Structure 1
Amino acid sequence: MQLRRAARLILIGAPGVGKGTQTERMLKRYPQLSSISSGDLLRENVRQRTPLGIQADSLMRSGALVPDTMILRLIRNALTTRGWLIPKGGVQPFTVNYSIASEAAPAEASGDNFFSLPPLGNAHDEQHEYEYSDHPDASFILDGFPRTAAQALQLGTLLPINMVIHIHTPTSIILDRICNRWIHPASGRTYNTTFNPPQIAGKDDVTGEQLIQRDDDKPEVWQARLKSFEENARPLLRHYERLGVLWRVEGSSSDEITPKIVEEFARRFGA
């Protein structure tokens, strides 16, 4: 299916709600959509030993968090490399073909090209340093960033996000989905005692070996994670609601939610 204009999406939802599943389905349905993952960009730049990757790696090795400014620079570089974000007064061709590796390579050649770009704007500045492409091929789903309202404000200095999808599944269903998950550690085979139980309780279907439940799948761990998400997401959702780009979808399963997302997305961006 074709798009008539650029879609710049963010999916917001609690852990276990199926954001990754929805992203995969959207990418398959709309070839003009790309996924831009802040985590993938960070790992690739560390692997490629770019100037920014070296700094990030040093921070992570020391146990420090990678600051928002570094993540924003990674995202900015990915967008400018693709030609979707253009420094005002500069000339940058529009490009469609792109890979993660291609965005890291120029840093090897030019030494410090991450830092030669114009500085990140102030979150409260009305004058942006960039122009952005509204071509349908400049459509993306941004994964992993922003997670807070402060990060969203900084992202807004680069370009406007024009659709934020809040995926909501009742907490009881998420807990049932995750906390009833059991794993065969040797193979990674996964079972769920609710909808995909093993043939013999507690045993792997293939080997008969004992199944285990990961520590981070236990109910008390997930309840804490869900509570933390709700607290952090509330200001973020309010921010995008004020901008008029927030849309909420609710359902008990990914299969129930997907058609609703596709219908609304097609209404807003479909050709």
Structure 2
Amino acid sequence: MRMVLLGPPGAGKGTQATRIVARLGIPQLSTGEMLRSAVAAGSAIGLQVKAVMERGGLVPDDLVLEMVRQRICHPEARHGFILDGFPRTVAQAEALDVLLGDEGSALDAVIELQADLAVLVDRMAARVEEARSRDGAVRPDDNPTAFRVRLETYRRQTAPLSEYYGARGKLRLVDGMQPIDDVTRSVFSVLGLGAQPTR
């Protein structure tokens, strides 16, 4: 199964992707992880990515698309994948459709985790405090200002993406504000996988 997980930052995409991976045995391709790896590598591109991420902005499409292309063409993704954090714009969605078409495939489903943005700000603040109390390690973009920029960017862009995938019959909506296990049951149900969560 080839699928995309949509949802604002902090909506639980990573948690649900992990459970889908456990159920289906397909890789999670997180563009956030790809970008953080580039930053950690300290390359010229990584330094550019770091500056953009710290402002809460978006990395240029051409760079993200190339990273995605390399990952979905890898043998581990031959039988499917979950894209987490990509696409973020209609232009990226169109480019992804072309990329997959060139590979002779297409998306099977797009799951959007719907969430209350005000609640997500509170969740982010709690996550930062928990991380600080544990080991002090906090991502540079996990601060109220950058997080609100990320949420506003998502709010502006998610409606067109929902319309884009909805018009193609791919979009499945799930209430991301439910307890985690209930979200998983809903995700599995709309994917036709049964309703039992996998931990």
Compute the TM-score of the two structures, normalised by the length of structure 1. Answer: 0.55
Whether contact under 8 Å (1:17, 1:167) holds in the other structure is: yes
How many Å apart are 1:240 and its aligned residue?
0.8
Please tell me the residue identity of whatever aligns with 2:164.
H
Q: Is 1:154 equivalent to 2:148 in the alignment?
A: no
Of 149, 174, 189, 1:263 maps to 189
Q: How does 1:1-271 map to 2 (within 5 A)?
A: 7-31=1-25, 33-42=26-35, 56-57=45-46, 59-60=48-49, 66-82=59-75, 98=76, 138-159=79-100, 160-180=106-126, 182-183=129-130, 185=132, 187-188=134-135, 216=142, 218=144, 222-250=147-175, 251-266=177-192
How many Å apart are 1:27 and its aligned residue?
1.1
User: Could you say if the C-alpha distance between residues 58 and 10 of structure 1 is closer, same or farther in structure 2, counting changes exceeding 3 Å?
Assistant: same
How many Å apart are 1:254 and its aligned residue?
1.8
How many Å apart are 1:263 and its aligned residue?
1.6
Distance, in Å, in 2 between the alignment partners of 1:38 and 1:185 is: 25
**What secondary structure, in the 3-state scheme, does the structure 2 residue paired with 1:236 have?**
helix
Percent identity over paired residues: 31
Distance, in Å, in 1 between the alignment partners of 2:147 and 2:52 is: 24
Please tell me the residue identity of whatever aligns with 1:78.
R
Please tell me the residue identity of whatever aligns with 1:232.
Q
Give every structure 1 segment of 4 or more consecutive aligned residues whose post-TM-superposition deviation is greater than 2 Å: 37-48, 53-67, 77-81, 169-189, 214-218, 220-228
User: Could you say if the C-alpha distance between residues 55 and 141 of structure 1 is closer, same or farther in structure 2, counting changes exceeding 3 Å?
Assistant: same
User: Could you say if the C-alpha distance between residues 9 and 186 of structure 1 is closer, same or farther in structure 2, counting changes exceeding 3 Å?
Assistant: same
How many Å apart are 1:260 and its aligned residue?
0.8
Whether contact under 8 Å (2:38, 2:46) holds in the other structure is: no
* Aligned positions, number: 181
**What secondary structure, in the 3-state scheme, does the structure 1 residue paired with 2:191 have?**
helix
Whether contact under 8 Å (2:6, 2:85) holds in the other structure is: no
Q: CA RMSD in A?
A: 3.7
Whether contact under 8 Å (2:27, 2:81) holds in the other structure is: yes
How many Å apart are 1:259 and its aligned residue?
0.5
**What secondary structure, in the 3-state scheme, does the structure 2 residue paired with 1:36 have?**
strand
Whether contact under 8 Å (2:6, 2:84) holds in the other structure is: no
Whether contact under 8 Å (2:21, 2:27) holds in the other structure is: yes
Whether contact under 8 Å (2:39, 2:47) holds in the other structure is: no
How many Å apart are 1:138 and its aligned residue?
1.2
Whether contact under 8 Å (1:173, 1:252) holds in the other structure is: no
Q: Name whichever of 149-158 and 228-237 sits farther off.
A: 228-237
User: Could you say if the C-alpha distance between residues 217 and 254 of structure 1 is closer, same or farther in structure 2, counting changes exceeding 3 Å?
Assistant: farther
Whether contact under 8 Å (2:52, 2:59) holds in the other structure is: no
Q: Which has the higher contact order (CA 8 A, sep 6+)?
A: 2
Please tell me the residue identity of whatever aligns with 2:113.
I
Distance, in Å, in 2 between the alignment partners of 1:158 and 1:81 is: 14
